[in-house]
Amino acid sequence: MRIVLVGPPGAGKGTQAAFLAKNLSIPHISTGDLFRANISQGTELGKQAKAYMDAGNLVPDEVTIGMAKDRMEQPDAVNGFLLDGFPRNVAQAEALDAMLVGEGMKLDAVLDLEVEEDEVVKRIAGRRICRNDSAHVFHVTYAPPKSEGVCDVCGGELYQRDDDSEGTVRKRLEVYHTQTEPIIDYYRAQGLVVTISALGKVDEVTGRAMEALRGEKAA
């Protein structure tokens, strides 16, 4: 299957993408991984992206599209892929369509993870990270530490990252609504969008997604 995964920040896209890709035996292709791989390997696209990023500028669509195209042409993606973070806007969605048509392929589904904005803010703004080891992550509501402000693992101080503040989260949501959400309507016009609730335990959401995607495949 060839799938695009969409949803607001905090919807759990990265977590769900990993589980879904494993269940469907297709590669999980995320823009974050693409950028890191191209930059670390010193590819031409990676050098271009790094130059923009180092200057504090957004990486142009054509660079992101080029990275995605290169990755989707790898042998492990011949029978399908799950795209996470790409396309990020309608221009990228149009480029993806053209890319696939040129190869005689098409998308099978666009999986839309739906979650209320207040829940997104609650999920992200409630995160607390250990200053000693950023791998130790807690949540004031969903996974609180035994002692407030203290890491259960090493006793380090827990803090809220600037990126996780409510103000920053709401700004990220504005960007999502303005730039990325329009691709849902774009794909809905093609009959590709499958919307599921992203609320509940991780395995519950994965089960919901697999059931919806099986329905699309059967159709």
| Residues annotated as part of the active site | 13, 88, 127, 161, 172
Show Cβ contacts of residue 31 under 8 Å, excluding neighbours closer than 6 positions: 64, 67, 68, 84, 85, 86, 88
Spatial separation of the C-alpha atoms in residues 9 and 14, rounded to whole Å: 10
Number of residues that make up the chain: 219
**Amino acid type, 82:** L
CB 121 within 8 A of CB 170: yes
Q: Is 114 helix (H, G, I), strand (E, B) or coil?
A: strand
Ramachandran region, residue 56 (left: φ > 0; alpha: ψ -120 to 50; beta: rest): left
DSSP state of 164: G
Q: Is 135 helix (H, G, I), strand (E, B) or coil?
A: coil
Beta bridge mates, 194:
111
Q: Is 209 helix (H, G, I), strand (E, B) or coil?
A: helix
